[in-house]
């Protein structure tokens, strides 16, 4: 996270919220791992400023300019669901003040679940289930990453979209130097051999794809006051969201009580679940190496993925 000067921060705020006076302060938000963010205290008004990374940074294919899709996603959620998301006051990708995209929004009440140890976890999970089923009820005519950042062409079939996503992720891992030719072929061929299991009709649902403890805001009464960071949003098969929830420890019985739908437990669904888990896991190779310069950490994620492949696909 790179801190910006107070002058730049004031310029951004005055561009969109003039005449706030001198009683303005900026408090860095230390929990962010991708954007640089600040709480803004302006008299009696509370806002959040989120600033994207520099455009030349190393990204996963769907992360480049991904902030651009958040205004539209927030609009959908505010208009069509009761999910607590912030009202976006301004989005700017003109680079006229700073060399980054940025977004100014209202601050939601509450604090990240990680910072509220008194919260009842099951109560929170039931609410998350109730909210996510609302997001999943929103549908699109196409699937994939459909936002204004345009990381891929929209697809009419989920099997085609996931094939593109999988192979683009492999491209990213090769780019940061963590798959040799044999490993690259292993993962590409693995999906090719099992792609038929993804060729089925699915709703093109709005998926958050990053629901974990720090992206859940709660108050002292264990009420969920916000679900934040929709910039990784994807339209597609809800099963891929379930894999993220598995990985992040969210898909406990209380979550499914709130969600109100049963999860497919067939052999085909379990196979897809493995691929979706791998999709979630493999991204950390790029994150660790490309953004954190943590080669040992990247290798650990690769070894974990190879172990899953060897144990699940004996002939892989």
What is the per-residue pLDDT for 23? Answer: 84
Question: 143 φ, ψ to 5°?
Answer: -135, 165
**The pLDDT of residue 34:** 86
* Rounded alpha-carbon distances, angstroms, from residue 14 to 18, 29, 41, 66, 107: 4, 20, 13, 25, 17
For 44, counting Cβ atoms within 10 Å of its Cβ (0-12 exposed, 13-18 middle, 19+ buried), the class is exposed
User: Do residues 283 and 169 lie in contact, with contact meaning Cβ atoms separated by under 8 Å?
Assistant: yes
In CATH, the architecture of 113-312 is Alpha-Beta Complex (3.90)
For residue range 117-144, list pLDDT tens digits in order: 999 999 999 999 999 999 999 999 999 9
- 6-107 carries CATH number 3.30.200.20: yes
pLDDT at 1: 44
Please write down the HEC assignment for all residues of the chain.
Answer: CCCCCHHHHHHHHHHHCCCCCCCEEEEECCCCCCCEEEEEEECCEEEEEEECCCCCCCCCCCCCCHHHHHHHHHHHHHHHCCCCCCCEEEEECCCCCCCCCEEEEECCCCEEHHHCCCCCHHHHHHHHHHHHHHHHCCECCCEECCCCCCCCCCECCHHHHHHHHHHHHHHHHHHCCCCCHHHHHHHHHHHHHHHHHHCCCCCCEEECCCCCHHHEEECCCCCEEEECCCCCCEEECHHHHHHHHHHCCCCCHHHHHHHCCCCCCCHHHHHHHHHHHHHHHHHHHHHHHHHCCCHHHHHHHHHHHHHHHHHHCCCC
**Phi then psi dihedrals of residue 116, to 5 deg:** -125, 75
pLDDT at 315: 54
Q: Residue 3 has what pLDDT?
A: 64
Domain ranges of the chain: 6-107, 113-312
User: Across the beta sheet with 216-218, what order do the strands follow?
Assistant: 111-112, 216-218, 224-227
Report the distance separating Cα 62 and Cα 150, nearest Å.
8
> Can you say how many angstroms the Cα of residue 38 is from the centroid of all Cα atoms in its chain?
19
pLDDT in tens, 63-88: 999 999 999 999 999 999 999 999 99
Residue 316, pLDDT score = 46
Residue 37: which of 287, 214, 257 has the closest Cα?
214
- Report residues of the chain scoring pLDDT below 50: 1, 316
Q: Does residue 236 contact residue 144 with C-beta atoms inside 8 Å? A: yes
């Amino acid at each position: 996270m790179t801190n910006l000067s107070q002058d730049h921060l004031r310029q951004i705020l005055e561009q969109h919220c003039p005449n706030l006076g001198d009683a303005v302060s900026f408090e860095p938000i230390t929990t962010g791992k991708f954007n640089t963010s600040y709480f803004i205290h302006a008299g009696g008004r509370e806002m959040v400023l989120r600033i994207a990374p520099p455009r030349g940074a190393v990204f996963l294919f769907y992360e480049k300019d991904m902030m651009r899709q958040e205004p539209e996603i927030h609009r959908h959620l505010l208009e069509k669901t009761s999910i607590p998301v912030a009202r976006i006051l301004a989005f700017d990708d003109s680079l006229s003040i700073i060399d980054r995209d940025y977004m100014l929004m209202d601050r939601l009440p509450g604090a990240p679940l990680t910072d509220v140890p008194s919260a009842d976890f099951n109560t929170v999970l039931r609410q998350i289930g109730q909210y996510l089923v609302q997001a999943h009820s929103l549908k699109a005519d196409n699937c994939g990453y459909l936002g204004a950042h345009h990381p891929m062409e929209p697809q009419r079939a989920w099997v085609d979209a996931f094939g593109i996503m999988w192979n683009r992720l492999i491209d990213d891992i090769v780019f940061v130097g963590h798959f040799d030719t044999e490993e690259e072929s292993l993962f590409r061929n693995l999906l090719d051999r099992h792609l038929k299991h993804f060729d089925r009709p699915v709703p093109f649902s709005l998926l958050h794809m990053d629901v974990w403890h720090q992206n859940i805001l709660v108050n002292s009464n264990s009420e969920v006051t916000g679900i934040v960071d929709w910039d990784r949003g994807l339209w597609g098969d809800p099963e891929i969201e379930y894999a993220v929830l598995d990985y992040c420890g969210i898909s406990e019985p209380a979550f499914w009580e709130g969600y109100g739908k049963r999860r497919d437990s067939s052999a085909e669904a379990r196979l897809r679940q493995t691929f979706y888990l791998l999709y979630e896991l493999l991204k950390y190779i790029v994150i660790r190496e490309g953004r954190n310069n943590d080669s040992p950490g990247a290798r650990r994620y690769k070894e974990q993925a190879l172990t899953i492949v060897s144990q699940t696909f004996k002939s892989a």
